[in-house]
Chain A
Amino acid sequence: AQSVTQLDSHVSVSEGTPVLLRCNYSSSYSPSLFWYVQHPNKGLQLLLKYTSAATLVKGINGFEAEFKKSETSFHLTKPSAHMSDAAEYFCVVNTSGYSTLTFGKGTMLLVSP
């Protein structure tokens, strides 16, 4: 079985401050993990993915995520938020052998000036 929990439905930050979006997963074996971003009225875009190589994964637009097996976590971070980062973010898991992804319920990131 596979599941993912995004711990915050909304996160508010000020422009220029760090961003932390939290994600915990459950997977029976060898997970692949992804973060997607969705801007208002748009489709989903891949930010980054972990597939059992380096545990610290760098993505687009300055985002990165660290895979921590002992904590079953895959939190998304960015050192300095930009107004254009305001969007909804989805943490996604796939378990080895499964043909499908399981999505978290999403975290809305709000960035204020």
Chain B
Amino acid sequence: NAGVTQTPKFRVLKTGQSMTLLCAQDMNHEYMYWYRQDPGMGLRLIHYSVGEGTTAKGEVPDGYNVSRLKKQNFLLGLESAAPSQTSVYFCASSYSSQGTTLMEQYFGPGTRLTVT
């Protein structure tokens, strides 16, 4: 099992450019998440999905869009990159809740994005 994989690992964009980050998981997880990590801020949720074809906004969704066309893939798009979106982006996945207990999340290795 590869677990959760992310592509690319690094990317440099100019302000105004667009790009898509790809997350893939091979654990048949229902739930998938996109986070950004900035120094001293912990991880902040951007968007998430509780199943194929469904997405929802997290804490910091502005400037990002997502799609979950296949259960194993979760795409994060930046339509017009800004320097404030310079960050490390993590994807995670988990099984759906077992009763009322949310299962732990499995994380990818991250994508380091710089916007100049």
Contacts and interface: CB of A to CB of B under 8 A. Distances in A.
A46 B33 contact: no
Interface residues of A, number: 25
B102 A30 contact: no
Contacts of A106: 40, 42
A30 B58 contact: no
A51 B40 contact: no
B80 interface: no
Contacts, number: 57
Nearest to B45: A100
- The B interface is mostly helix, strand or loop, or mixed, namely strand
Closest 10 CB pairs of A and B: A96-B100, A105-B42, A43-B107, A94-B102, A103-B42, A44-B107, A103-B43, A43-B109, A51-B101, A46-B104
Interface in A18-61: 30, 32, 34, 36, 42-46, 49, 51-52
Contacts of B43: 44, 90, 103
A104 B37 CA distance: 12
Nearest to B88: A41
B41 interface: yes
Q: How large is the interface on B (under 10, 10 to 19, 20 to 34, 35 or more residues)?
A: 20 to 34
A5 B17 CA distance: 36
B48 interface: yes
Interface string B8-31: 000000000000000000000001
B75 interface: no
Contact of A52 (B31, B101, B110): B101
A32 B99 CA distance: 12
B78 interface: no
A49 B105 CA distance: 11
B74 interface: no
B42 A104 contact: yes
B45 A49 contact: no
Given A46-B106, A90-B43, A106-B42, 7 more contacts: A32-B102, A42-B109, A43-B108, A46-B105, A52-B101, A99-B97, A105-B42
A14 interface: no
B40 A99 contact: no
Contact of B41 (A52, A94, A105): A105
